């Protein structure tokens, strides 16, 4: 009995540390489940305007600018030209701009894309699944996701050309 | 507690048994070890005087951590701290009790500076804070370690009991009888065995010595409680694991199959009803003053997705799995998923209209088509005419530069722009603006817009002839959808705790030792509670062997409870 004592003690203390560490870690870092700067960008699978399903995984190895928008949201409409300009500038350097339409139907999205004349990939989130997993409340909200799939920064509100340029530069830069 | 043990102690008893450090009563004969004088105080019988596992002469780091958690004093401090912490969480409502608030401003607005400080200290989510979880984890560790540290030595001590005990062990119990005995020791011991057995004691004899014991299992009660508490704590901890716990408040517009996020389930609100008490049904003092709801009911059907789930390019295939009329406190329940009535909204939402294309000059009707608000068809046929849907606005309005836009994604003021082609129209067609709602027609001047678009001689008009051609979602039911798969384990844990409580409360571990030697009977008794009942039992047993003893004379002090 005396000899078995120590390993038993160590095993039990280890279990306590493991379980306790897990419990405390989830309470500290788990929080509300919304991604923060530095955390992993949540996966999504959404229907694109091209009729195919798109996931975050397919952009692995690329920096992703994930923009949540709606046709009824005025600042979203205003920042579209800036997004388009930056998409054209950076697309050959491993950057992809993805627009996530929130809660609208295909026709509205198609018409909008034609009207504002953008050609970066657009996916639709009619059930607001990605909105939920990304914890979006005001729009527009833009997530800058680095090549490792981690959230580099989050921008809430309208983006201008310069901010967008410097943020993308940060994603691509060393 | 181990501080009481001197650094170097001779732990060998005079009976020859070598005891571990920290032993109070010799493991073999029961002689008190910690004192030299002939004290006559009652013995400390906790854990039968054996050393706890953690008591060692030179503890290392692991031993020190172990000792910390094995201390009952520490456990009590932890419990008190947890109670105090829990109290802090009840000063203002916790964040988790609200659905849609911005906590960073809510507490300040609602409760002033105190609320702001409360929020800043993180007390608005007390029960999820790291220090509260840490306290719970430490209580859990303390439960495990305290139990192990005591239950194993106690078990050993109780299974290896020696029958013949040291005289001091007997005379310093709380129930003691020392009296002259003329009979042959073994014969008398044999005689008293019968009434003891009748009383439910297990009797072991060894010459003129006897040990009678009953209801030992009651000693395990506290440890059973601890096991239950540990299961309880682990179950609560496990709720944090993905898929084990879910609590969402979702909107279900009437007549729509709505997915429940993070599950494969879909729920359809077939009909929502709200009823209020009539004036006649209400007591006098409420009449004309209050509106009291009588019934909230959502007729719900639950579907499970069986194929093409989660693939956005396909329509999921659903199978009905459950149906229930959800009322307050009567949730729909299926495989651990529960949907409770939570709220409602009686604002009707337009879903589709079936307008008819008419010639307003001749009155000729060309045909009806169904125009959905969400994902409408793009082109329609009405008699010889083809209508192509060019633009659609859910909540029509004009932006700063005067262009038509949708102000929200909700169909509050839907508007549709068609291009109509057919006989009597220009070759490249005629544009036509259509507002399904009468109020919008007037407000946005549908006539005027169309006159501008098609010229004054235009003759086509889209009209809805009856309300049957209008499809509304009459209301929206808000349901609280919950999954709590850890709950059965919480109940199991609580059940085990209850079992432990019953074991510990309703039975007592009673033991009687006696030796007859040199014409003297020495009897010592121990129980963990109800000493009064124990003494009466001993008196009545002794009566059976024609020995009359005064109940009070058995009391050696201390055994009042």
CB contact under 8 Å between B408 and A103, yes or no, is: no
Q: How much is the pLDDT for B561?
A: 55
Q: Is B17 a domain residue? A: no
Q: Is B150 a domain residue? A: yes
Domain spans in chain A, listed from the N-terminal domain onward: 1-30, 39-172
CB contact under 8 Å between A19 and B389, yes or no, is: no
**Pairwise CA distance, residues B528 & B511, whole Å:** 10
**Pairwise CA distance, residues B76 & A52, whole Å:** 61
Among the candidates B463, B496, B518, a domain finishes at B463
- Residues B284 and B212 reside in one and the same domain: no
Report chain A's terminal Cα–Cα distance, integer Å. 58
A3 at B interface, C-beta within 8 A: no
Chain B nearest-CA distance from A173, in A, is 34
What fold does the segment set A39-172 form as a domain?
Glutaredoxin (3.40.30)
Sequence-distant contacts of B313-318: CB under 8 A, at least 24 apart: B313/A47, B313/A51, B313/A52, B313/A53, B316/B259, B316/B266, B318/B257, B318/B266
- Residues B427 and B519 reside in one and the same domain: no
pLDDT digits (tens, 9 = 90+) for A31-58: 566 777 778 888 888 888 888 888 888 8
When pLDDT is averaged across residues B203-216 and rounded to a whole number, the result is 92
CB contact under 8 Å between A103 and B409, yes or no, is: yes
Closest by CA position to B457, among listed B433, B428, B426, B435: B426
Q: What is the mean pLDDT of chain B?
A: 86
Indicate the number of domains in chain B.
4
- Residues B331 and B421 reside in one and the same domain: no
pLDDT digits (tens, 9 = 90+) for B87-143: 999 999 988 787 777 788 888 888 989 999 999 998 988 888 889 989 988 999 999
**Pairwise CA distance, residues B406 & B397, whole Å:** 6
CB contact under 8 Å between B375 and A105, yes or no, is: yes
The ipTM (two decimal places) reads 0.77
B53 at A interface, C-beta within 8 A: yes
pLDDT digits (tens, 9 = 90+) for B488-534: 899 999 999 999 999 999 999 999 999 998 889 999 999 988 899 99
With a CB cutoff of 8 Å and minimum separation 6, the contacts of B97 are none
Q: Report CA dihedral (B251, B254, B259, B264) to the nearest 10 degrees.
A: 120
- Residues B360 and B343 reside in one and the same domain: no
Chain A nearest-CA distance from B443, in A, is 20
Q: How much is the pLDDT for B167?
A: 87
Give every strand in the sheet of B245-253, ordered side by side. Answer: B245-253, B476-484, B337-345, B332-334
Chain A nearest-CA distance from B236, in A, is 10
Read off the pTM: 0.72
Inform me whether the pLDDT recorded for B317 exceeds 70: yes
Mutation site, A105, A115, A127, A128, interface B, largest B CB count within 10 A: A105
Q: How much is the pLDDT for A112?
A: 87
- Residues B126 and B72 reside in one and the same domain: yes
**Pairwise CA distance, residues B131 & B405, whole Å:** 51
Q: Are A100 and A125 in contact (CB under 8 A)?
A: yes
pLDDT digits (tens, 9 = 90+) for B217-234: 999 999 999 999 999 988
| CA B290 to the chain's CA centroid | 36
Pairing of strands A95-102, A63-69: parallel
**Pairwise CA distance, residues B341 & B17, whole Å:** 70
Mutation site, A2, A8, A27, A126, interface B, largest B CB count within 10 A: A27
Closest by CA position to B535, among listed B521, B551, B549: B551
Q: Are B414 and B441 in contact (CB under 8 A)?
A: no
- Cα torsion angle, A134, A137, A139, A143, sign: negative
**Pairwise CA distance, residues B53 & B67, whole Å:** 9
Strand partners, B300: B269, B324
- Give the E-state strand segments of B229-378 in sequence order: 245-253, 257-259, 265-276, 293-307, 317-327, 332-334, 337-345, 349-353, 356-359, 365-368, 371-372
pLDDT band at B301 (very low <50, low <70, confident <90, very high): very high
The residue written with tokens 């700063």 in the block is B400
Q: How much is the pLDDT for A8?
A: 82
Task: Point out the residue among B137, B313, B375 whose CB comes nearest to the CB of A20.
Answer: B137
Which residues of chain A from 93 to 152 reach within 8 Å of chain B, CB to CB? 102-108, 111, 124, 127, 129, 132
Domain that holds residue B93: 53-156
Q: How much is the pLDDT for B7?
A: 47
Kindly give the confidence (pLDDT) of every residue in chain A, 174 residues in length, as a single tens digit, with 9 standing for 90 and above. 445 577 888 888 898 888 888 888 877 776 566 777 778 888 888 888 888 888 888 888 888 889 999 888 888 888 888 889 888 888 888 888 899 998 888 888 888 888 888 888 899 888 888 888 888 888 888 988 888 888 888 888 888 888 888 888 887 775
Closest by CA position to B397, among listed B434, B438, B443, B430: B443
- Residues B290 and B304 reside in one and the same domain: yes
Q: Is B3 a domain residue? A: no
* CA atoms within 13 A of residue B346's CA, in its CB half-sphere: 5
With a CB cutoff of 8 Å and minimum separation 6, the contacts of B109 are B115
Q: Is B502 a domain residue? A: no
Q: Are B292 and B299 in contact (CB under 8 A)?
A: no
B481 at A interface, C-beta within 8 A: no
- Residues B128 and B179 reside in one and the same domain: no
When pLDDT is averaged across residues B27-53 and rounded to a whole number, the result is 76
**Pairwise CA distance, residues B152 & B94, whole Å:** 42
pLDDT digits (tens, 9 = 90+) for B142-155: 999 988 888 888 88
Cis peptide before B79 (omega within 30 of 0): no
- Residues B281 and B427 reside in one and the same domain: no
Q: What percent of chain B has pLDDT over 90?
A: 26
Mutation site, B129, B258, B310, B312, interface A, largest A CB count within 10 A: B312
For residue B345, what are its two tokens? 């909204």
For residue B106, what are its two tokens? 């809510």
- Give the E-state strand segments of A38-114 in sequence order: 45-48, 53-55, 63-69, 95-102
> How many interchain CB pairs under 8 A, A with B?
94
Q: How much is the pLDDT for B539?
A: 93
CATH value at residue B174: 3.30.310.10
Burial of A162 (0-12, 13-18, 19+ CB in 10 A): exposed
Q: Is B519 a domain residue? A: yes
Chain B nearest-CA distance from A39, in A, is 17
| CA angle at A30 for the pair A24 and A36, rounded to the nearest 5° | 135
Q: Is B42 a domain residue? A: no
pLDDT band at B6 (very low <50, low <70, confident <90, very high): very low
**Pairwise CA distance, residues B224 & B496, whole Å:** 7
Inform me whether the pLDDT recorded for B250 exceeds 50: yes
For residue B461, what are its two tokens? 């008009």
B242 at A interface, C-beta within 8 A: no
- Residues B213 and B262 reside in one and the same domain: no
Q: Is B306 a domain residue? A: yes
**Pairwise CA distance, residues B461 & B385, whole Å:** 12
Q: Are B347 and B473 in contact (CB under 8 A)?
A: no
Nearest CA in chain A to B132: A24
| CA A16 to the chain's CA centroid | 35
Pairing of strands B349-353, B356-359: unpaired
**Pairwise CA distance, residues B214 & B508, whole Å:** 8
Among the candidates B129, B156, B183, a domain finishes at B156
For residue B500, what are its two tokens? 């432990």
A74 at B interface, C-beta within 8 A: yes
Q: How many other CB atoms are found less than 10 A from the CB of residue B418?
A: 25
**Pairwise CA distance, residues B420 & B366, whole Å:** 13
Chain A nearest-CA distance from B424, in A, is 28
Chain B nearest-CA distance from A131, in A, is 11
Q: How many other CB atoms are found less than 10 A from the CB of residue B559?
A: 21
């Amino acid at each position: 009995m005396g000899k078995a004592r120590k390993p038993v003690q160590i095993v039990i203390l280890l279990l306590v540390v493991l379980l306790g560490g897990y419990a405390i870690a989830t309470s500290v870092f788990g929080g509300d489940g919304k991604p923060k700067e530095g955390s992993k960008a949540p996966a999504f699978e959404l229907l694109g305007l091209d009729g195919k399903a798109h996931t975050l995984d397919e952009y692995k190895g690329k920096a992703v600018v994930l923009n949540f928008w709606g046709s009824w949201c005025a600042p979203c409409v205003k920042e579209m030209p800036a997004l388009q300009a930056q998409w054209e500038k950076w697309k050959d350097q491993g950057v992809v701009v993805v627009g996530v339409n929130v809660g609208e139907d295909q026709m509205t999205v198609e018409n909008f894309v034609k009207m504002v004349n953008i050609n970066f990939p657009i996916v639709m989130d009619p059930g607001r699944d990605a909105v939920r997993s990304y914890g979006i409340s005001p729009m527009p909200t833009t997530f800058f996701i680095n090549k490792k799939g981690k959230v580099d920064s989050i921008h809430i509100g309208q983006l201008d050309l310069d901010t967008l340029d410097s943020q993308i530069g940060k994603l691509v830069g060393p | 507690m181990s501080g009481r043990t001197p650094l170097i102690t001779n732990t060998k008893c005079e009976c020859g048994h070598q005891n571990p450090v920290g032993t109070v009563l010799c493991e073999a004969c029961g002689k008190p070890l910690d004192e030299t004088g002939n004290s006559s105080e009652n013995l400390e019988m906790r854990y039968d005087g054996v050393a706890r596992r953690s008591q060692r002469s030179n503890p290392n780091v692991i031993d020190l951590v172990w000792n910390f958690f094995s201390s009952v004093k520490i456990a009590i401090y932890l419990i008190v701290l947890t109670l105090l912490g829990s109290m802090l969480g009840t000063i203002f409502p916790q964040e988790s009790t609200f659905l849609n608030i911005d906590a960073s401003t809510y507490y300040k607005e609602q409760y002033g500076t105190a609320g702001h400080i409360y929020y800043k200290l993180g007390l608005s989510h007390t029960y999820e804070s790291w220090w509260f979880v840490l306290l719970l984890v430490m209580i859990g560790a303390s439960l495990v370690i305290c139990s192990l540290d005591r239950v194993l030595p106690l078990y050993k001590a109780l299974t290896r009991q020696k029958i013949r005990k040291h005289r001091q062990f007997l005379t310093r119990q709380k129930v003691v009888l020392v009296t002259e005995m003329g009979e042959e020791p073994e014969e008398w011991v044999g005689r008293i065995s019968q009434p003891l057995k009748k009383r439910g004691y297990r009797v072991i004899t060894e010459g003129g010595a006897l040990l009678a014991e009953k209801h030992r299992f009651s000693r395990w009660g506290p440890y059973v409680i601890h096991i239950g508490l540990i299961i309880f704590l682990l179950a609560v901890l496990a709720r944090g694991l993905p898929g084990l716990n879910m609590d969402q408040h979702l909107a279900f517009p009437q007549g729509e199959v709505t997915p429940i996020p993070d599950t494969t389930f879909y729920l359809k609100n077939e009909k929502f009803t709200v009823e209020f008490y009539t004036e006649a049904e209400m007591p006098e003092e409420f009449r004309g003053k209050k509106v009291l709801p009588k019934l909230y009911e959502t007729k719900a059907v639950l579907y499970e997705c069986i194929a093409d789930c989660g693939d956005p390019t396909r329509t999921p295939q659903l199978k009905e799995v459950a149906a229930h009329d959800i009322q307050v406190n009567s949730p729909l329940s299926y495989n651990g998923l529960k949907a409770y009535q939570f709220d409602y909204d009686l604002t009707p939402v337009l879903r589709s209209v079936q307008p008819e294309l008419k010639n307003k000059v001749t009155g000729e009707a060309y045909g009806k088509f169904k125009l959905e608000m969400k994902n409408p068809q793009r082109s329609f046929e009405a008699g010889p005419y083809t209508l192509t849907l060019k633009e659609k606005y859910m909540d029509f309005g004009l932006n700063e530069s005067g262009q038509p836009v949708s102000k929200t994604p909700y169909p509050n003021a839907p508007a549709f722009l068609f291009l109509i082609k057919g006989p009597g129209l220009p070759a490249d067609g005629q544009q036509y603006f259509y507002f399904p709602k009468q109020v919008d027609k007037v407000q946005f001047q549908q006539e005027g817009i169309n006159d501008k678009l098609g010229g004054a001689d235009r003759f086509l008009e889209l009209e809805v002839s009856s309300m049957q051609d209008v499809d509304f979602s009459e209301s929206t039911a808000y349901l609280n959808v919950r999954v709590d798969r850890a709950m059965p384990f919480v109940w199991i844990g609580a059940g085990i705790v209850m079992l432990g409580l019953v074991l510990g409360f309703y039975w007592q571990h009673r033991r009687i030792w006696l030796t007859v030697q040199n014409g003297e009977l020495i009897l010592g008794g121990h129980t963990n509670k109800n000493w009064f009942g124990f003494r009466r039992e001993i008196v009545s047993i002794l009566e059976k062997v024609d020995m009359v003893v005064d109940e009070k004379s058995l009391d050696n002090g201390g055994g009042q409870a």
